[in-house]
Chains A and B, each alone.
Chain A
Amino acid sequence: MAKEAAGSSGGPQPERSSGPGVAPDNLMVKCPKCKEILYSRDWEKNLKVCSRCNYHFRLTAHERVSLLLDPGSFVELDAAMVSVDPLNFVSRSQSYTEKLQEERAKVGLNEAAIRGYGTIEGLPLSLAVMDFRFIGGSMGSVVGEKVTRAIELGLERRWPVLVVSTSGGARMQEGFYSLLQMAKTVAALARLSEARIPYFSLITDPTTGGVTASFAMLGDVILAEPGALIAFAGPRVIEQFMHVKLPEGTVNSEFVLQHGMIDAVVHRRELRATLARLLRLYKVPEAEREQRSAPAAQSSVEAATLLSRQPSPSRAEVGGGQDGLRS
Chain B
Amino acid sequence: MVYDLEFEKPLAELEKRIASLQRKGERLRPEEHVQLQEYERELRRRTEEIYRGLTAWQTVQVARHKDRPYTADFIHLMCEEFFELHGDRRVGDDHAIIGGPALFNGEPVMIIGHEKGRGMREKMYHNNGMPHPEGYHKAIRLMEQAEKFGYPVICLVDTQGAFPGLEDEERGQGSAIAASLYAMARLRVPIIAAVIGEGGSGGALAISVADRLLMLEYSIYTVAAPEAAASIIWRDKVYAPQAAEAMRISARELYALGLIDELVPEPLGGAHHNHRLAAENLKAALVHHLQELKQIPVDRLVQMRYEKYRAVGPFGFAS
Interface residues of A (CB under 8 A from B): 1-3, 5-6, 80-84, 86-87, 89-92, 110, 140-142, 144-145, 148, 169-184, 186-191, 194, 209-210, 212-218, 231-233, 237-238, 241-242, 244, 246, 250-251, 255-256, 259-261, 313, 315, 318-319, 322, 325-326
Contact = CB atoms under 8 A, between A and B. Distances in A.
Interface stretch (B109-117, B227-235, B264-272): B227-235
A241 B188 contact: no
B170 A259 contact: yes
Contact of A175 (B183, B202, B248): B248
Nearest to B173: A232
Nearest to A237: B164
Please name the 5 residue pairs, one residue from A and one from B, whose CB atoms are nearest each other, closest first.
Answer: A141-B313, A233-B164, A212-B174, A213-B177, A232-B174
Contacts of B232: 1-3, 5-6, 172
Tell me whether chain A's interface is mostly helix, strand or loop, or mixed: helix
B135 to A, nearest CB: 13
Interface string B159-173: 000101110111111
B224 A232 contact: no
Contact of A176 (B166, B222, B317): B222
Given A186-B185, A213-B174, A92 B234 contact: yes
Contacts of A176: 221-223, 247-249, 254, 257, 259
A91 B178 contact: no
A98 to B, nearest CB: 13
Interface string B283-319: 0000000000000000100110110011011111111
Contacts of A1: 201-202, 223-224, 228, 232
A326 B319 CA distance: 30
Contact of B169 (A172, A189, A233): A233
Contacts, number: 233
Contacts of B165: 233, 238, 241-242
Interface string B201-222: 1100110010000000000011
B245 interface: yes
A210 B182 CA distance: 14
Contact of B175 (A2, A92, A261): A261
Contact of A213 (B173, B299, B310): B173
Contacts of B319: 80
B201 A184 contact: no
B75 interface: no
A209 B173 CA distance: 10
7 contacts: A87-B247, A87-B248, A175-B248, A190-B182, A233-B173, A237-B164, A242-B165
A163 B302 CA distance: 25
B242 interface: yes
B164 A238 contact: yes
Contacts of A232: 162, 164, 168-169, 173-174, 177, 202
B174 A187 contact: no
Contacts of B162: 213, 232-233
A313 B183 CA distance: 14
B182 A218 contact: yes
B182 A175 contact: no
B181 interface: yes
Q: Which of A5, A142, A186 lies at the interface centre, i.e. has the most chain B CB atoms within 10 A of its CB?
A: A186
B174 A216 contact: yes
A2 B314 CA distance: 21
Given A170-B223, A232-B173, A318-B186, A144 B313 contact: yes
B257 A86 contact: yes
Nearest to B225: A1
A98 B186 CA distance: 39
Given A145-B315, A242-B164, 5 more contacts: A1-B202, A3-B232, A179-B201, A233-B164, A242-B166
B186 A217 contact: no
A179 B164 contact: no
A187 B309 contact: yes
B182 A180 contact: no
A313 B145 CA distance: 12
B1 interface: no
B315 A84 contact: yes
Contacts of B209: 183, 186-187
B182 A184 contact: no
Given A175-B249, A179-B223, A213-B202, A186 B182 contact: yes
B169 A255 contact: yes
